Chain A
Amino acid sequence: MARKAPRSQEKIVDIEIVAKALAKAVSEGDFVNFCLLFHPASPAREDSPERFETDKYAYLLPDDALEADPRFRESLAVVRRVETRAYIAAELRANRPARLPSALLLPLADNALRLGKYTSAAQAYELLRIRGRMQDELFRQADAALDGHDIAGGVRGYVAATGLAYNYAAFPEPLPAVADFERRALMLHGNYPETPEDCIGLQETGALLRTALSYLLLDPAAAARLEPRPEDIRVAFLRELVAKRDPDWPAFAVRFREAVAMADEFGDRPAGEGAPEGESTGTLAAEIEQQLRADPTRIMAHLVGRELAHAEWWQYLKELAYKHPPAPLFVARQTVGDVEILAPRARPDSPVTRTLGLSWQAGLDA
Chain B
Amino acid sequence: MVDDGYVNYFEILGVAEQAKPGEVRKTYRRKMKDLVLEIARVEITEERRAHYLLEMAKLNAGLCLLRDVARRNAYWEERNELMGLEQEWREADVKGADTDALRRAFDAKLRDFLSKYVEELMLDAGRDKECVEASHWDAAHERHASRILRHYRQGLHQKILERLPYAEVTPPKIDWDERRRVIAGIVAAKGD
The count of residues in chain A whose C-beta lies closer than 8 Å to any C-beta of chain B is 36
Q: B187 contacts A141, CB within 8 Å? A: yes
Assess the B174–A137 pair: CB atoms within 8 A. no
Which of B162, B172, B191 has the largest number of chain A CB atoms within 10 A? B172
User: By DSSP majority rule, is chain A's interface helix, strand, loop, or mixed?
Assistant: helix
When distances are taken between beta carbons in the complex, the residues of chain B under 8 Å from A134 are: 179, 183
- Decide yes or no whether A128 CB sits under 8 A from chain B: yes
**Is residue B188 within 8 Å, beta carbon to beta carbon, of the partner chain?**
yes
Q: Are A102 and B179 in contact (CB under 8 A)?
A: no
Contact with A along B147-176 (1 / 0, CB 8 A): 110110011001000100011111111101
Chain B interface, DSSP helix/strand/loop, else mixed: helix
Asked if B151 contacts A169 (CB within 8 A), the reply is yes
Q: Across the interface, do A138 and B187 meet the contact criterion of CB distance under 8 Å?
A: yes
- Stretch binding the partner chain, chosen from A13-21, A44-52, A153-161, A351-359: A153-161
Find the A residue at minimum CB distance from B172: A102
B189 interfacial by beta-carbon distance below 8 Å: yes
For A157, list chain B residues within 8 Å (CB).
183, 186-187
CA distance A169 to B46 in the complex (A): 16
Whether A105 is near chain B, meaning CB under 8 Å from some CB there, is yes
Partner of A100, one of B168, B179, B183, B184: B168
B95 at the interface (CB under 8 A from A): no
Which one, A106-114, A284-292, A301-309, A325-333, is touching chain B? A106-114
Nearest-CB residue, chain A, relative to B146: A169
Which residue of chain A has the shortest Cβ distance to B182 in the bound complex?
A: A110
Q: Which of A131-174 contact B (CB under 8 A)?
A: 133-134, 137-138, 141-142, 145, 152-154, 156-157, 160, 168-171, 174
CB distance from A324 to the nearest CB of B (A): 23
Collect the chain B residues with CB atoms within 8 Å of residue A97's CB.
168
Inter-chain contact B191/A114, CB cutoff 8 Å: yes
| A102 with B186, Cβ < 8 A, contacts A137-B180, A169-B151 known | no
B residues near A (Cβ < 8 Å) are: 46, 100, 147-148, 150-151, 154-155, 158, 162, 166-174, 176, 179-180, 182-189, 191-192
